[in-house]
Structure 1
Amino acid sequence: MKTLDLAGTWRLRAEFIDVGPERFAEVAGRPKGKFSFIHGVKRRFPAKQGFIQAQVPCDVITPLMENNLLEEPLDKKNTDDCLWICDYSWWFLREFEVDKELLNCEEVRLYIEILDYKADIIINNMPVASHKNAFRPLDIDVKRYLREGSNQIIIRLTSGFEDHYPNDSISYYCANGNGIADQRVYLRKPAYSMGWDWCKPVPTCGIGRKIELRGVSGAHITGFRADTVSIHDNKADIELYFEITNLSICSADDAVLWYEICDANGRVICERKDLYLAGGINFITEYKTIEKAKLWWPNGYGLQNLYIARAGVICRGHENEMQPKTVGLRTLVLRQDKLPDGSREFRFIVNGVPIFCKGGNWVPADSVYLRIPLSTYRTLVDEAAYMNSNMLRIWGGGLYEPDEFYDYCSQKGILVMHDFMYACAYYPDHLPWFVHEARLEAEYQVKRLAHHCCIAVWTGNNEVHESYTDWFDEHQQADYYFGSRLFNYIFPEIVRNHAPRVPYMPSSPFFGDRANSLYAGDTHVWNHMRKDSEIGMKNAADLYAFDRLAAKVRFSSEYGFHGPLVRSSVERYHCGEPVSMDGEIWRHHGEHHKKHEHIVERIRVHLADEAKLHDLDGYLLYGGIVQGLMYADMALALRRFEHCSGCLIWMYNDCWPETGWTPIDYYLTRKISYYFLKRAFEPRKLILRAEQGTAVVTVINETPEDLKAELEYGFFTFKGDMQSIGLWSVDMAAHSRMQFEFPAKDMGFDGAYYVRQIDGDFFGVATSIRGYYRDISVENAGLKIEKMEQIGNELLVTVSSKTYCPLVYLRCPDDTVRFDDNFFEMLPGQRKKVRVFDCVGDLEVQAVPIDNR
């Protein structure tokens, strides 16, 4: 295959929306000069002359910013000043050279991975194609439009909304708090770009990822996957599937398929196979056994061993090699067996081992998604793994991410629960053109991602089915289950055909007597946490309600709590403007009244009086802590129960800077809650609950090693005394859990119970205290830093405490500095070592001030 990369410098200008593709010559012939807008009374008028440069791939927002025609949308209140992008057509132009070698290929295909959104393509003054789907590439043969030497390509893009204004809409609820257009249900592009309850609308329009000409002759591989069929006797039986397209339509041809599977030490499989290919698509399946198989495991459960698959086809004297694929050897099933109480489990089994899934929901990492660099994907996946996550759920209002993201997930042991891109709306599957696009999109994406070992399950949508069963009364309910033709019939067939060993479910949440049941399938817990629900959550800070919920739920794929950013991130989006908690910029970035009140209520219950929260630093500190406290306590409640097999927070990452759900912010800075989740997700974990005269200790070992440990349990007083009650010898198999109990009278507000490992530290410490710190009175902890040792770019800090301290934190002048732990509790007399990364400036240890009642 010969490629001609079309990325690079293009010319760009805007026109009014009624300047259609038939007027391409007029637009291309605009007078020279630099493009600008003339500002009228109510709108911008595109100047008649000139272009600006655009470095494609890009969203139009980027070159507009580079040419001072638009400010950064995510700063200050600038999202309010970018909605006009939908009102124009955007014209990309470029000249390029084509040589004879490329034209001698049997086909020359124009491949554009993302066109957002409604695209018309003109090559050398001839209309070539139209395209209306940002979720599947334009991939067409354009050889007949090309000529040797100089060529020109014009791409006209619009938002696509103009085709559906003003009346097209069948959604009752997609125009949420920040949403601006119900018509998004017709557009196959990221729905969140028009706003959601957690982000402002930033309309997108542009060209994304790869854009190139591909010259192809002979036959080439158009589909590949490597499925692990079985694992036995240190061997893996695999099925290699190839889809091969022969460009000779009216004849059959001799061909050779070669392929190899390699590990870090070299080839483990190397084969050549003679083929006789019909014109068009051919399907080849090979069954092989890999000796001394190195298995792939989710993070915490074992190593992430990976292999590289290479393959190529030689046909009619032409050899075409596919892009190397990273594959892992692992089996995966979704087990939903009936339990003794009549409910059903919802558990992923990898290599025969039940997995407890920990992690979060993934949304696009930028409101302007076409500008996300690969380094951001790498950092976010690395940080998820470091937080001890082993699953991310790709939420259905975002996008299908680039191949590199899934490679990173496989490398770090992150399973992916993947929605198709449909969320919170009734989709028009009564329209033939929409169904056709949906089918092509699903086939492309499932085939593209089929070889990734991280893909754990495909889900048809986010919350569409739940909306039918839980959200509306009979007078509001639609007469037809819009979207069900896709989610219940078309998509399961596509997954079965193109990824037959990947489970499918019609929606998330799904299964049970209704879509969002507690007793089967996965659950989005929002409705179950209302005061009027069977859980009976008394207030926004009720930790004990988490136990009542966890006693029922099988797999929580969404639960969440808000928390503020660190100060440097707040200052960053203010861009030099004064930071005020009464300011419009502050409120614009997620600090609306209802959210703020929930955060303040949790602080009042657990930490401090409201008077301390009028100070920005106090609010950021306490707000970050209560977010972490709520997240961690819910995670531990879910992990205690053996019938539960997953806790995914809503949400892991963010597309813009706001007071929101995430433990890591838009700027890739860890929020305070990150450390609470990191501890709650540890693969070796002690969980202690003391209630009604009994202390129950849950011991979890998710690692692949058998463990022996000596655990001490006892009580301590808040004045600093400790009393051991007994020892428990733990002898645990890999991938196992156990519980033991000891008598525990109610200590009131005088002390609490603890369990700790005394012959090592891989289990750490657990106490029976779970928030409500205002109800206890602790002595001055006498915290101090005993030792600091520089090791490369790491600082190893030893901290000690004389008495019990519920919240200890290390503070650095730079609040973006990362720690391996922070905001932790310490027992009387305890010493703790903390690693600090890239710390510049003085480091101090502090106790979080708590207002006792």
Structure 2
Amino acid sequence: MKHLDLCGTWEVRNAKETATIPASVPGCIHTDLLASGKIEDPYYRDNEARLMWIGETDWVYRRTFHVPAELLSEARIYLHCDGLDTLSTITINDVKIGTTDNQFRVWEFDVKSALRAGENSIEVSFASTIPYIQAEQQKRYLNLTGLGPDPLHGQHRVDGSNRIRKSQCNYGWDWGPMCVTAGIWRPIQLVAFSAGRVTEMQITQDHSQKGAVKLQVRAAVETANSKPLRAKIAAMFEGNVVAETTVDVRNNSAEAALTIANPQLWWPNGLGAQPLYDITLDLLDGGTVVDGQKKAIGLRTLVLDRHPDQWGESFQFVVNGVPYFAKGANWIPADTFVTRITPEFYEYLVSSAAQANMNMLRVWGGGIYEDDLFYELCDRYGITIWQDLMFACSAYPGADREFIANVQAELADNVKRLRHHPCIAFWCGNNELEHIHQWFLSDEPKEGYMTWDEYKLMFDVDIPSVVLKHDPERTYWPSSSHSPVGDRKDPNNPACGDAHLWEVWHGRQPFEWYRTCEHRFNSEFGFQSFPEPRVINSYTLPEERNITSYIMEWHQRSGIGNDAIIQYMLSWFQLPTKFEMLIWLSQVLQGIGMKYAVEHWRRSMPRGMGTLYWQINDCWPAPSWASIDSLGNWKALHYMARDFFAPLLISAIEDWQHGTVEVHVTSDFLQELSGQVRWTLSDTDGNVLAQNTLDCSRFAPQANTKVCLLQFKDHLKEYGSRKLLVWLELLVHGEIASENLVTFTRPKHLDLRDPELTAQVREEAPGIFWMTISAKRPALWVWPELDGVQASYSDRFFHLVPGKPAEIRVQPAEPMTLTAFQQALRLYSLTDTYRQA
């Protein structure tokens, strides 16, 4: 098969004008306008508010291309479009080729008759989606979230965005801007052939035979004539062929079985390795390869296990027969303009998830079916994927058969594209249609609502019929959250299913509330923080750096956001004395909240078997629930997540009233371990008041073990709650595997003194530095910072005690001398947030 790539430089114009600007394909109109200097950065200050006209405008993309005569000699020639955003009309040499109406679909058109040898032209005209969705809402109004009163923004979403198959958050969300894109957002090419081509390849696995895995490989073949074709199918591992066969193509399909002896199994991060096998299929015309496909797969079983147990019904993922606790976060598009996410940034974010000991990400249903590279990276790093289908927080026209047919074609395209990835754990129909069903679903016909019957037809019948047809090996789950047992209108039933727990943020419950929750799987919960000061500086003027300024509130898309952060902060900490310290402290606050939740749910295993906080990443610079900001900086939460998601975790339940500390060790390892628990009671000056080391004969595998109950009532009576700190260490083979800190009062009331932090710096290699940070007195949440310099840090927001320095590796984004590094270095801890200068 021959390919003619049509990506690269195009030109684009307003449909009502003749002047053009250069355009990039893949790309989108906003980035094209930005590159040409026609608009200011949409993320800077409130520029976004003046750029809505872009999404209200029709745009025409055009280019010329050369077609060699030999390409025209092929029997069939298709224009293959991996992604067009969204309402487009395509012409080649002024001949209308076709139209599109779904951002998520793959589109193909027979263009042989429209092409000519030599110079050709192609135009893709994109109509604004705004008139379309407004017209659809006039036909039948359907509710969506984010349209409530907001004196600053008016609304968080564009009304009617649920009426079109396009990224829902493109029209605004409570963590992102309104930037309604258009353009050729994925590759576009001509494909030509005369013998045949492979249009689909499916690989299923049978693990029932001990010591071997049987693969069934099925391929769909499009032929251009009656000439017989054959398919050579092989499995390769580390460059070596481990199984191979050749079969005839019959009735436009080829099917073969391959047996992999001594299979190397694929495991999620932390449970084992991630070996990948390449399955290749060469389509043969005689002895000539005319087309082919290659899929990288992992040999594993991965299922959702639901069975009755003492607490109700389980909800746990089982890989290779082993239940595992899902640890991770929710994923949103990593930029509002997704076509400018680089491969390097994708890998940075996925590797950051792995470094934080995560083994699962939930791809949220209001964004996009992610780029192939994202899933390839998750395969390599062992990050399993909870894959939402692209429906979120809205009613949809489930009774509209034309709409459903479009959706079913979208699902077929994406399920077939992604099903070979070992990382895909299961498919979920939507985000929160059942969780907040009061806004979208009604028992009887009602304006703005789907009926429950209409909803069930769409998400229990129409959608799973396609998903399970193309991927029968995985589970389909209709909604998140969802209660499969009992009343479906009780979506957070603690006895079954998954739960979205927002009582802490939206309900203003204290962090301690998380310890009352005994749900089976916690797929959403979160707390906000600000991005670090350097990021805020990128979108504000100096005089706007106050969290109640117009621009700071413009970038806050949760209506209660900044107010909630401050209220919780005053509950936990002293009021910061500087804007920058308030920003940093918001990150510590966020980390504490998530730590309360995750440690509790890990202690609750196997009753609860998963916790995915909202959210890992950002799409623009703003306060949000993310643990990594839009520029890739780890917030305090991400550093803390590396600790509270560690495969071995020491944690505690403190009882301030009775002066006790209940110590627990949680293990994700598959084998039993032994070790020691060392605890130290000190005062806030660092003086050791009591300590002990406990030998523990066993930490049960994949379980939580209560180790001991420590009694400090007498010490509290003598020293008071403000003066005491309990330091916990878990040692395995003499090495510290996990650490934690317990206090008997909120941090704002601790009697802390200046820890007098110091750092010894050495240059390991050009541009890479090591710091030895020491403290004369206990220092809580220590973070080094290079003033005004982008850098990565091996650790931050850790605790220090006298005599136990921390070794921190720092790599500035740009080369620095040792002298410049030392001059820029600042050391901060909790006391710096409220201490007067």
SS in 1 for 2:64: strand
Alpha-carbon distance in 2 for matches of 1:762, 1:517: 38
For structure 1, list consecutive stretches of 5 or more residues without a partner in the other structure.
17-45, 532-538
**CA-to-aligned-CA distance 1:351-409 (integer Å, 9 cap, x gap):** 12222112211111111223322222122112221222111111111001111110011
Shift of 1:851: 5.9
For the residue of structure 1 that corresponds to 2:124, the secondary structure is strand
Q: Is the deviation greater in 705-714 or in 131-140?
A: 705-714
Aligned match of 1:273: 246
1:172 counterpart (129, 132, 143): 143
The aligned counterpart of 1:519 is: 495
SS across alignment from 1:464: coil
Give the corresponding residue for 1:254: 228
1:505 corresponds to which letter in structure 2? W
> Match of 1:729?
696
Preserved contact between residue 662 and residue 706 of structure 2 (Cα < 8 Å)? yes
Partner of 1:42: none
Match of 1:24 in 2: none
| Structure 1 residue 735 displacement after superposition | 4.6
Given that 2:198 and 2:222 are in contact with CA atoms closer than 8 Å, whether structure 1 keeps it comes out as: no
- Residue correspondence of structure 1 range 642-791 to structure 2 within 5 A: 642=605, 643-691=607-655, 692=658, 695-703=661-669, 707-719=673-685, 720-732=687-699, 735-746=702-713, 747=716, 749=721, 750-757=723-730, 760-769=734-743, 772-785=746-759, 788=762, 790=764
| Aligned-partner Cα distance in 2 for 1:345–1:479 | 30
Unaligned runs of 5+ in 2: 149-154
Listed one character per residue, the Cα deviations across residues 651-674 of structure 1 (whole Å, up to 9, x for unaligned) are 111111111111111122222322
Equivalent in 259, 263, 267 of residue 289 of structure 1: 259
Which residue is 2:66 aligned to? 97
Q: What's the counterpart of residue 29 of structure 1?
A: none
Alpha-carbon deviation of 1:641? Answer: 0.6
Q: Between Structure 1 and Structure 2, how many residues are aligned? A: 800
Bigger Cα displacement from structure 2, 209-218 vs 237-246: 237-246
Alignment partner, residue 332 of structure 2: 363
Q: How far apart in 1 are the matches of 2:124 and 2:447? A: 42
How far did 1:213 drift?
0.1
**Mapped contact 2:84–2:186 kept (Cα < 8 A):** no
Match in the other structure for 2:418: 449
2:207 to 206, 221, 230: 230
SS at match of 2:308: coil
Q: Secondary structure at the match of 2:420?
A: coil
| Partner in structure 1 of residue 796 of structure 2 | 822
Determine whether 1:630 maps to 2:593: yes
Residue identity in the other structure for 1:333 = V
1:499 matches 2:471: yes
Structure 2 distance, partners of 1:292, 1:256, is: 28
Task: Quote the residue 1:846 is aligned against.
Answer: 828
C-alpha distance in 2, partners of 1:476/1:91?
A: 37
State whether structure 2 residue 285 is matched by structure 1 residue 309. Answer: no
SS at match of 2:743: coil
Q: How big is the shift at 1:814?
A: 4.2
Q: CA deviation at 1:483?
A: 4.0
CA drift at 1:525: 0.6
Inter-partner Cα distance in structure 1 for 2:87 and 2:428: 27
Query: Which of these residues, 380, 385, 389, is aligned with residue 354 of structure 2?
Result: 385
- Give TM-score, length-normalised by structure 1: 0.88
Q: Aligned pair in 2 of structure 1 residues 216, 705: CA closer, same or farther (>3 Å)?
A: farther
Structure 2: which amino acid aligns with 1:633? Y
1:592 positional shift: 6.9
Structure 2: distance between partners of 1:485 and 1:256? 41
Q: CA deviation at 1:232?
A: 6.4
- Whether 2:481 is the aligned partner of 1:545: answer no
Provide the rounded CA distance (Å) in 1 between the counterparts of 2:516 and 2:630.
Answer: 33
Equivalent in 570, 593, 604 of residue 641 of structure 1: 604
Native 8 Å contact 1:653 1:664 kept in 2: yes
**What is the deviation of 1:464?**
1.0
User: Cα 1:561–1:175, aligned 2, differ >3 Å: closer, same or farther?
Assistant: closer
Shift of 1:770: 8.2
Aligned AA for 1:443?
A: A
Q: Which residue number in structure 2 is paired with residue 78 of structure 1?
A: 47
- Residue 15 of structure 2 is matched in structure 1 by 15
SS of the equivalent of 2:349 reads helix
Match of 2:194 among 217, 223, 247: 217
Cα-to-partner distance string for 1:489-510 (whole Å, 9 max, x where unaligned):
1222222221111111001111
Which residue pairs with 2:533 in the alignment? 567
Cα deviation for residue 810 of structure 1 reads: 2.1
State the Cα deviation string for residues 165-201 of structure 1 (Å, max 9, x = none). 2424532233435444332222111011111121221
- Structure 2 letter corresponding to 1:668: G
Query: 1:218, 1:316 within 8 Å by CA — same for their partners in 2?
Result: no
Q: Secondary structure at the match of 1:324?
A: strand
Task: Give the match's secondary structure for 1:157.
Answer: strand
Residue in structure 2 matched with residue 160 of structure 1 by the alignment: 129
Q: How many angstroms apart in 2 are the aligned matches of 1:181 and 1:844?
A: 44
Letter in 2 for 1:846: Y
Which residue identity is paired with 1:800?
A: S
Q: Within 1, Cα distance between the matches of 2:623 and 2:642?
A: 20
Residues in 2 aligned to 1:230 and 1:844: alpha-carbon distance in whole angstroms: 55
1:406-445 map, 5 Å: 406-445=375-414
C-alpha spacing 1:735/1:682, structure 2 compared with 1 (3 Å): same
1:147 corresponds to:
116
The amino acid that maps onto 1:751 is L
1:337–1:600 distance in 2 versus 1, CA, 3 Å: same
* Residues 742 and 165 of structure 1: CA distance in aligned 2, closer, same or farther (over 3 Å): closer
Residue of structure 2 equivalent to 1:334: 304
Contact 1:629 1:771 in 2 (8 A): no
Structure 1, 778-787 or 216-225: larger mean CA deviation: 778-787
1:116 maps to 85
Map residues 185-204 of structure 1 onto 2, 5 A cutoff. 185-204=162-181
Please state whether the residue corresponding to 1:200 is helix, strand or coil: strand
Paired residue secondary structure (1:458): strand
1:599 aligns with 2:562: no
CA distance in 1, matches of 2:586, 2:447: 38
Give the Cα separation in 1 of the matches to 2:744 and 2:357.
21
8 Å contact kept, 1:231–1:237:
yes
CA deviation after TM superposition for structure 1 residue 81, in Å? 1.6
